[in-house]
Amino acid sequence: MSHSSVGLVKTQFFTFGDAKNPLKLRSGATLEPVIVAYETYGKLNPKKSNAILICHALTGDAHAAGKHSSKDKKSGWWDSMIGPGKTFDTNKYYIVCSNVIGGCSGSSGPNSIKPNTKKEYGVSFPVVTIADMVDVQKRLLEFLDIEHLHSIAGGSMGGMQVLEWAVRYPDFMDSVIVIASTSKLSSQSIAFDAVGRNAIISDPHWNNGNYYKMKKQPNHGLAIARMIGHITYLSNLSMNKKFGRRLQNKKTLSYDFSNEFQVESYLHHQGSVFVERFDANSYLYVTKAMDYFDLSEEYGSLKKAMKRVLSKVLIISFSSDWLFPPEQSEEIIKACLSVNKTVFYTKIESSYGHDAFLLETKRLTKLIKNFLNGIQ
């Protein structure tokens, strides 16, 4: 079967909630109206039994596949996995992907306009959790007339959303696919997030989150946050392979504080590119949602949380992922097995680190296709 793109796609929007019926968040705060940016690929079958929800990671968005125009240089963030004949085969499945609330790519977030002030929320936007994100996704699916999912899949923070779905709405899906994720952030991961947030908040142009109409934005702080985060997505092996200790465009040391090594230039580039597409305040909100995520605390223990699961579970980890290492996936496996749940697990040997969930397409395709084909 030939693999091709879903072609040109359009981001759509769903709005719900008003002053009389707002979205109630885990913090106790409320939000209205709620705007959800989403994209769909493929067609919903007459029985409405072929829908798959894709959940994106920290800096992802609803644009998971295809292109918005013929001039686009890049396709959606998981285009290698979604499309005709691909892992999530749009000849068979109806794929839905939405931007999380708190994000900055069309869904309600700190850069959205607050109804009563007609200005951006900034940090007056309420703090959201992974559970809040999932509740909003459920409202979107109901709007799309989908009452049951064939599967839900996601990597990294997307995997957290998948786990939240599995325990919060256990009878809503036949299966779940959790890739390079965890049931709770480690203190090390929280520490990296904290340093990233501090880089943003310490930027003189952050202005307590009220920078949207300013000439200068907190780009420096956001770029540093991205650089810190990006280091955690790679592995020591992949960085050594890609950069080693090679100098950038020179043969001798400068004995100054410029970006001399290739790895420095690479990180600087990643930070510069990132500020063009992401909002600094959203980085604060979404990393905080990840920090708060802890299924064992929410349900009393991880075992009690997994006891709620009714769907088949596929968990995939990567050997060189030190941000969400294999042992964190194996902890979920043990909890599932201890309460007699149907669970499949594979640790993929890869040098790509955490980013492997975006790069190991061939091996992921084989695993996921076999899993999806085995669901009755």
User: Which pair of structure tokens corresponds to residue 371?
Assistant: 């899993």
Q: Residue 331 — φ and ψ, nearest 5°?
A: -65, -40
Active-site residue list: 156, 321, 354
Q: By C-alpha distance, which of 237, 267, 248 is closest to 354? A: 237
Euclidean distance between CA atoms 304 and 295, whole angstroms = 9
b (16+ CB within 10 A) / e for 38-58: bbbbbebeeeeebbbbbbbbb
The answer to whether the Cα torsion of 112, 114, 119, 125 is positive or negative is negative
Question: Burial level of 99, CB count in 10 A (0-12/13-18/19+)?
Answer: buried
Beta bridge partners of 313: 176, 343
CA distances from 298 to 171, 262, 286, 304, 309 (A): 19, 44, 19, 10, 15
The position carrying tokens 């040098």 is 351
Q: What is the largest CA-CA distance in the chain?
A: 68
